[in-house]
A = this chain, B = another copy of it.
Amino acid sequence: MRASQYLLSTLKETPADAEVVSHQLMLRAGMIRKVAAGLYTWLPTGYRVLKKVETIVREEMNKAGAIEVLMPVVQPADIWEESGRWEQYGPELLRIKDRGDRDFVLGPTHEEVITDLIRNELSSYKQLPLNFFQIQTKFRDEVRPRFGVMRSREFIMKDAYSFHTSQESLQKTYDDMYKAYSAIFTRVGLDFRAVRADTGSIGGSSSHEFQALADCGEDDIIFSTESDYAANIEMATALAPSGTRASPSKTMELVDTPNAKTIDELVTQFNLPIEKTVKTLVVKASKNSEHQLVALLVRGDHTLNEVKAEKLDLVATPIEFASEEEIRQIIGAGPGSLGPVNLNLPVIIDRDVAVMSDFGAGANIDGKHYFNINWERDVALPTVADIRNVVEGDASPDGKGTLLIKRGIEVGHIFQLGTKYSQAMNATVQGEDGQNHVMIMGCYGIGVTRIVAAAIEQCNDERGIVWPEAIAPFSVAIIPMNMHKSAKVQETAETLYTQLQAAGIEVFFDDRKERPGVMFADSELIGIPHTIVIGERNLDNGEVEYKHRAGGEKEMISIDNIIEFIKHKAQ
């Protein structure tokens, strides 16, 4: 590509409205432009990268035996009503009407369409397993689109859906997808982790997220220092506390604490170690419980893990915190003065709370706390469960090492869906036994557009983007010095451009009448891995200058060898 016939659109200044480095660099490098909130046009440089990511995703999906299809962006409401998601899905689902006032949605995902298709096309277990994928535009009406294409409203996703008649078959495809995803993220050059994830509202039994490590990531991901244990914050567990509870050493006392409504205030005002305090959180009880509310207790320095709490039979799903009014009505005290002693609610305590002794908590009387509470002596030991988020330094659940927490950008997600959709939509095939069986499903997503942003988060320096070779918009930049004044420089540049292209290498030939400084800055900003600088003086020595974007020193290369040299480098 000749720069003179290209839309480079680089910017010198960092746009004020871009918070994260990938968004800033995508704007500065002329990769994207905003059309409206969460809607972007991919400019030529951005599109070249996007297409390379898409190609890698497609190749690995094909290799894993998935079959490509294309489903419509606009989907009729009736299948969403059938699956139940027309009601369940929040306002992120953009519901629209056509000219005949019929209801449609802009597809945020395609479970309904594929399930509807497959229930019509398949009749026998002999046709299974099958795994279908598409690379298609999706729409989610995010309440706060942000970080450029990282969380945009319109985006490109690779989504796949597999169909099975047995859990073993699903597990095999799931494992194949796990491997394919690992291959994809490795090929695009991401530093990523596959972490165990909650299946959440999509349902199903097993799930992994593929997280690209990055400080700006929106997810907390957890690893062991010593093993391959990895999970997202929702799923991560620590090793259960070892040892037994210390015996009581002090008498329980009722203390006036009029100005201590939070753990912080309690700790500061009464000089209590935070590990000797307990937080009491009150949530709605599940419908089939005889109670209205349930109390959940975690140590003062821990936080409640809502996903874990939701899995408790007693707790309503989705989790809902009781209002101050509801708490007062039933307990007779405000949320800042609650605790396990004399509490007229079912209580569930975290495993770490169960091993505490001589601890402080609210007295269920406004302005009062009990200090030196001890289980069994002062109050019966309630139900114990793992209901907290892990913290850095917790013991890994496999007993190997301790837990670290990093931030991740979710770039992929694989689910064992089970029969959530196939049951609701009656998607069956005849089994070996002649009976109809509801198919078992898996689903597998990759945020294609998001990968581009994630790669930039990981690969940049003060001068711009440092692309991994596999997804760079161009492989080689040719920068001729004062080409418009030197016939020799021009001739060499043109020859090199032709020869490199003939060798199948993607070349950005900066043939603009610009100062060398401008050309270097642009080439470094858009992150082209290899740069060849052509100057008259070096040509007199039969040489050109080579520089690798990732930080290598300049090298002088003989003009006779440069093609082979680049072919070797740009692999």
User: Interface of A with B (CB < 8 Å)?
Assistant: 5-7, 9, 33, 35-36, 39-44, 47-48, 50-51, 65, 67-76, 91-92, 94, 96, 98-99, 104, 106, 113, 116-117, 120-121, 127, 130, 132, 137, 139, 141, 143, 153-154
Contacts and interface: CB of A to CB of B under 8 A. Distances in A.
A138 B92 CA distance: 22
Given A35-B71, A72-B154, A76-B39, A65 B99 contact: no
A255 to B, nearest CB: 49
* Residue of A42, A67, A113, A130 with highest tally of chain B CB at under 10 A: A67
Given A35-B72, A41-B70, A44-B132, 20 more contacts: A5-B67, A5-B130, A7-B130, A9-B121, A33-B117, A33-B120, A35-B76, A36-B74, A36-B104, A39-B72, A39-B75, A39-B76, A42-B71, A43-B69, A44-B69, A47-B70, A51-B68, A72-B154, A73-B137, A74-B139
Chain A contact residues: helix, strand, loop or mixed: mixed
B44 A74 contact: no
A36 B77 CA distance: 10
A71 B9 CA distance: 16
Contacts of A36: 74-76, 104
A330 to B, nearest CB: 36
A51 B5 CA distance: 27
A75 to B, nearest CB: 7
Contacts of A141: 98-99
B106 A99 contact: no
B69 A42 contact: yes
* Residue of A41, A104, A130 with highest tally of chain B CB at under 10 A: A41
A100 to B, nearest CB: 9
Nearest to A449: B70
A51 to B, nearest CB: 8
A42 B67 contact: no
A106 B36 CA distance: 13
Work out how many copies of this chain go into the complex. 2
Contacts of A120: 33
A41 B69 contact: yes
10 contacts: A5-B67, A6-B67, A33-B120, A33-B121, A35-B71, A41-B70, A43-B117, A73-B73, A73-B139, A94-B96
A74 B106 contact: yes
Contacts of A130: 5, 7
B75 A35 contact: yes
A180 to B, nearest CB: 15
Contacts of A41: 69-72, 113, 117
Contacts of A94: 96, 98-99
B132 A73 contact: no
Contacts of A106: 74, 96
A168 to B, nearest CB: 17
A8 B17 CA distance: 50
Contacts of A50: 70
Nearest to A35: B72
Nearest to A32: B70
A526 to B, nearest CB: 14
Contact of A74 (B7, B39, B51, B127): B39
A42 B133 CA distance: 11
A73 B117 contact: no
* Residue of A72, A91, A104, A121 with highest tally of chain B CB at under 10 A: A72
Nearest to A93: B99
Contacts of A33: 117, 120-121
* Residue of A73, A116, A130 with highest tally of chain B CB at under 10 A: A73
A154 B68 contact: no
A22 B235 CA distance: 51
A115 to B, nearest CB: 12
A5 B65 contact: yes
Contacts of A75: 35-36, 39
A296 to B, nearest CB: 32
A184 B123 CA distance: 40
A74 to B, nearest CB: 6
A73 B120 CA distance: 29
**8 tightest CB-CB pairs across the interface, nearest first?**
A36-B76, A42-B70, A39-B72, A96-B96, A91-B99, A99-B141, A41-B71, A44-B67
A7 B33 CA distance: 39
A186 to B, nearest CB: 25
A99 B67 contact: no
A48 B113 CA distance: 19
